[in-house]
Every structure is written in structure tokens, then in C-alpha cells.
Amino acid sequence: MVGYFACLRNPPAKADFYTETWLTYVAQKTGGVDDHLREWARTILTWPFIYGMALAGYRYFRHYNPDELALESAASAAY
């Protein structure tokens, strides 16, 4: 959880920044990207999904570590 929250930052102005970068990288390495992979990447690499996964993971972290509050401010900022 510490690593995941450490990677979160303010989203860039372009919403699909990581999506396009990743798709370009995959296309260069494999010679092309099909429509299924492009749609999957647009879903999984969007900012709401990334932040949501951080908060979902934090829920389980708090469940198993109820007295640990070190990540509370990071979770609050992500929310």
C-alpha cells in the first residue's frame, strides 16, 4: 500500500496520458495493437480506475491493520 500511494499524484491535464504512452510502447514492441487491447487499456489505465484501486486496496489494508493510521492522509487526499 505504501508503494501504491507513493505512486499516486495529481492527474495530468490529458486524461489518457498513460494510456497513449503505453499503447505506443506496446505497438513498437509487438508491431501493432488490436482494438480489444486498445479498449482494455483505456479502461484499466484511466485515472478514476487507478485511484479507485488504491482506495480499494486501502480498505483491505485498514481491515487487517485497524490501528495503523500512517496512510490515512494519503487515502484522504486520493479520495
**Which residues span the domain enclosing 30?**
14-45
Report how far Cα 53 is from the mean position of its chain's Cα atoms. 6
Do 69 and 54 lie in one domain? The reply is: yes
Residue 66 falls within a domain, yes or no?
Answer: yes
Residue 77 falls within a domain, yes or no?
Answer: yes
User: Does the pLDDT value for residue 16 go beyond 70?
Assistant: no
Alpha-carbon distance of 76 to 13, in angstroms, equals: 22
Would you say 24 and 38 are in contact if contact means Cβ atoms under 8 Å apart?
no
The model's pTM is: 0.55
Q: List, in sequence order, the alpha helices (H) in the chain.
A: 2-7, 17-30, 35-44, 47-64, 72-78
Residue 64 falls within a domain, yes or no?
Answer: yes
> Does 20 or 62 have the greater pLDDT score?
62
Average the pLDDT over 12-24 and give the result. 70
The predicted structure's pLDDT at residue 79: 76
Do 51 and 37 lie in one domain? The reply is: no
Residue 55 falls within a domain, yes or no?
Answer: yes
> Does 62 or 13 have the greater pLDDT score?
62
Do 55 and 30 lie in one domain? The reply is: no
User: Does the pLDDT value for residue 51 go beyond 70?
Assistant: yes
Do 52 and 76 lie in one domain? The reply is: yes
Average the pLDDT over 13-17 and give the result. 57
